[in-house]
Chain A
Amino acid sequence: MTESRTKTWTRREMLRLGGGGTVLLTMSLAGCSASGGTAEDPPDDDAPVDPDRPLESPMLTEQVEAGELPPLEERLPIEADRLVVDGPDSLGVFGGTYNGAVLGQGDDPWLERMIGYEPMLRVDPQLEEIIPGIFKDIEVSDDGTEFTIHMRQGMRWSDGEPFTADDVMFAFENVYHNEEIHPTFPGTFAVDGDRATAERIDDHTVELTFPGPKGDFLDLASRAAQWWAHNLAFYPKHYLEQFLPENNPDLDAEAEAAGFGSWVDYWEDRIQWWNNPDKPVLFPWVITDTLNTGTRVVAERNPYYWKVDSGGAQLPYIDRLEFETVHEEEVMLLKGVNGELDFHSRHFNTDANKPVLAEGREEGDYDFVTVQTTSMNRMIISLNLNHKDDDLREIFQNRDFRIGLSHAIDRQDIIDTVYQRQGEPWQAAPHRESEFFDEEFAKQYTEYDVDLANQHLDAAGLTAKDGDGYRLRPDGNRLRFSLDVTTLFPEWANAADMVRRYWAEVGVDMQVNPIERTLFYERKDVAANEHDANVWAGDGGLKVEMLETRWWFPSGGEANYAMAWASYFDTRGEGEHAQEPPDYALRQMELAWQIPREPEPEVQKDLFREILQISKEQFYVIGIASAADGYAIAKNNLRNVVPSFPDSWLYLTPGPVDIPTWFFEN
Chain B
Amino acid sequence: MLRYIGRRGLILIPTLFAISVVTFIVIQLPPGDFLSTRMAQLQSQGDGSLGAQELARLTERYGLDQPIYVQYWQWFSNIIFRGDFGDSFDYGRPVSALLAERLPLTIVLSVLTLVFIWAVSFPIGVYSAVKQYSAGDYTFTFLGYLGLAIPNFLIALVLMWLSLRYFGTSPGGIFSPEYRDAPWSLAKFGDLLSHIWIPVVIWGTAGTAANIRVLRANLLDELRKPYVIAARARGNSERWMTIKYPVRVAMNPFFSTIGWILPGLIAADAITSQVLNLNTTGPLLLQALLAQDMYLAGSVLMISAALVVIGTLISDIALAWLDPRVRLRY
Contacts and interface: CB of A to CB of B under 8 A. Distances in A.
Interface size on B, as a range, is: 35 or more
A272 B91 CA distance: 12
B277 interface: yes
Interface stretch (A130-138, A467-475, A518-526): A518-526
Interface string A485-518: 0001000000000000000000000000000111
A338 B32 contact: no
Contacts of A570: 52
SS of A interface (majority)? mixed
A532 B286 CA distance: 32
Given A330-B157, A334-B171, A518-B31, A109 B36 contact: no
B87 interface: yes
Nearest to A548: B48
A217 B38 CA distance: 29
Interface stretch (A32-40, A118-126, A155-163, A320-328): A320-328
Contacts of B48: 649-650
Interface stretch (B39-47, B122-130, B202-210, B248-256): B39-47
Interface stretch (B2-10, B53-61, B113-121, B299-307): B53-61
Contacts of B92: 269, 272, 275, 292
A347 B157 contact: no
B217 interface: no
B177 A324 contact: yes
A226 to B, nearest CB: 8
A649 B47 contact: yes
B70 to A, nearest CB: 14
Nearest to B176: A340
Given A183-B53, A265-B61, A522-B32, A331 B40 contact: no
B171 A228 contact: no
B49 to A, nearest CB: 7
B279 A334 contact: no
Contact of B101 (A104, A293, A327, A519): A293
A274 to B, nearest CB: 11
A259 B87 contact: yes
A488 B39 CA distance: 13
Contacts of B87: 259
A537 B37 CA distance: 19
Contacts of A517: 40, 43-44
B267 interface: no
Nearest to A269: B92
B170 A340 contact: yes
A650 B49 CA distance: 11
Contact of A331 (B30, B101, B277): B277
A335 B172 contact: yes
Contact of B44 (A265, A338, A488): A488
A328 B275 contact: yes
A416 to B, nearest CB: 26
B108 interface: no
B135 to A, nearest CB: 38
Given A183-B53, A259-B94, A521-B39, A324 B173 contact: yes
Contacts of B218: none
A579 interface: no
A328 B39 contact: no
A328 B42 contact: no
Contacts of B287: 104-105, 327
A183 B39 contact: no
A334 B172 contact: yes
Given A292-B93, A324-B173, A519-B32, A331 B275 contact: yes
A109 B42 contact: yes
Interface string B155-179: 0010011001000001111000100
Contacts of A264: 57, 61
Interface in A546-565: 557-558
A294 interface: yes
A522 B35 CA distance: 12
Contacts of B172: 326, 328, 331, 334-335
Contacts of A367: none
A42 to B, nearest CB: 31
B291 A340 contact: no
Interface in A330-369: 330-331, 334-335, 337-338, 340, 346-347
A228 B55 CA distance: 12
A521 B36 contact: yes
Interface in B60-80: 61
A620 to B, nearest CB: 20
A518 B37 contact: yes
Nearest to B55: A557
A99 interface: yes
A63 interface: no
A106 interface: yes
A136 to B, nearest CB: 29
B101 A340 contact: no
A228 B50 contact: yes
Contacts of B50: 228
Interface string A278-317: 0000000000000011111000000000000000000000
A225 to B, nearest CB: 12
Contacts of A330: 157, 275
A560 B145 CA distance: 50
Residue from the set B40, B49, B87, B275 with the largest chain A CB neighbour count within 10 Å: B40
A259 B86 CA distance: 9
B224 to A, nearest CB: 49
Contacts of A328: 172, 274-275, 277
B45 A109 contact: yes
Given A106-B38, A518-B31, A228 B283 contact: no
A647 interface: yes
Contacts of A557: 49, 52
B31 A335 contact: no
Interface string B220-258: 000000000000000000000000000000000000000
A193 interface: no
Contacts of A417: none
B164 A338 contact: yes
Nearest to B41: A106
Contacts of A647: 46
B191 interface: no
A261 interface: yes
Contact of A109 (B47, B61, B161, B274): B47
A184 interface: yes
A347 B45 contact: yes
Interface string A210-243: 0000000000000000001000000000000000
Nearest to B63: A261
Contact of A649 (B41, B46, B52, B53): B46
A521 B57 CA distance: 19
Nearest to A334: B171
A520 B52 CA distance: 18
A272 B51 CA distance: 17
A472 B57 CA distance: 46
Contacts of B54: 228
B36 A518 contact: yes
Residue from the set B30, B52, B171 with the largest chain A CB neighbour count within 10 Å: B171
Nearest to A294: B101
11 contacts: A228-B51, A292-B92, A295-B173, A327-B287, A335-B171, A340-B177, A517-B44, A518-B31, A518-B292, A539-B46, A558-B43
Given A104-B287, A324-B177, 20 more contacts: A106-B291, A109-B42, A264-B57, A265-B61, A275-B92, A294-B101, A322-B177, A326-B172, A327-B286, A331-B172, A331-B276, A334-B160, A334-B164, A334-B172, A338-B171, A340-B177, A488-B43, A519-B32, A522-B32, A570-B52
Q: Which 8 pairs from chain A and chain B are nearest by CB?
A: A518-B32, A334-B171, A109-B47, A292-B91, A517-B40, A105-B90, A331-B172, A519-B31
